[in-house]
Amino acid sequence: GNDYVAFPLKEASNVRGTFEEWVKPAGWNGGDGSYQGSFQTSPPGSWGNGLGQMIIVDQWSTTFYFRIVPDGGCCPIDVTFPTAGVFSNGTWTHIVATWDKPTNTVAVYINGKLKVKRTNWTQAISTPFAANVYSGIGNDRYYRGSIDEVRLYSTPLPLAAIQQHYAAGLANHQPLAYGTDGTD
């Protein structure tokens, strides 16, 4: 489909912050070659490569991307990793991305664990994020599946807080348990 939600950006800046969400793929698995985007700060119809833009592409063919575009242009500080084994059809996954220009750090956490971290963000960034952000689309690719609890913070969350959010949200993102007599 081509559904997405637009909402005003109030907390995060391009200098430091945290993005958090739960995603559940519908009809695709990590590494299967499909294209799934879940978040962008540019309006639909743009590719997420413009100055000051941020995107989350859960899967671009077989790779996850978290991108903030610095003043020099796309895409020297992309944080990427292979998606095989990370996303599974019908299974909730907790994604957290943090960025902190003062420490030149960008990191992505999956299910409460650090997946990848870069500490070489030396490019300047002065173009602010857009006033609205979009969930359900990333790099102009619509997300097939469910997205829940999208949050933006004005500071990078520490690992302990990320793990606490994952543990607290896990109970809400599990399959229903059925009784042994066939009732629910």
List of residues 6+ apart from 71 with CB closer than 8 A: 51, 123, 124, 125, 126, 127
- Judged by average pLDDT, the poorest of 4-8, 78-82, 112-116, 156-160 is 4-8
Q: Does residue 143 lie within any of the structural domains? A: yes
User: What percentage of the chain carries pLDDT values higher than 70?
Assistant: 89
Report the C-alpha gap between 123 and 183 in whole angstroms: 57
In a domain, 103, yes or no: yes
Residue 152 vs residue 11, higher pLDDT: 152
For the stretch 78-108, pLDDT in tens is 899 999 999 999 999 999 999 999 999 999 9
- Say if 180 falls within a structural domain: no
Mean pLDDT value across the chain:
84
Give the model confidence (pLDDT) of 114-152 as tens digits: 999 999 988 888 877 777 788 887 766 788 899 999 999
Does residue 179 surpass a pLDDT of 70? no
In a domain? residue 2:
no
Q: Which structure tokens are listed for 161? A: 């807080």
Q: Is residue 181 part of a domain?
A: no
Question: Residue 94's pLDDT is what?
Answer: 96
Confidence grade of residue 1 (pLDDT, cut at 50, 70, 90): low
Contact assessment for residue 51 and residue 127, using Cβ atoms and an 8 Å cutoff: yes
We report the CATH number of the domain holding residue 102 as: 2.60.120.200
Quote the domain boundaries for residue 102.
9-172
Contact 49, 163 (CB under 8 A): no
Q: Is residue 59 within 8 Å of 86, Cβ to Cβ?
A: no
In the chain, the number of structural domains is 1
- What b-and-e string marks burial along 107-130, b requiring 16 or more CB atoms within 10 Å of the CB? bbbbbbeebeebeebeeebeeebb
Cβ neighbourhood burial of 95 (10 Å; 0-12, 13-18, 19+)? buried
Residue at 164 is within a domain: yes
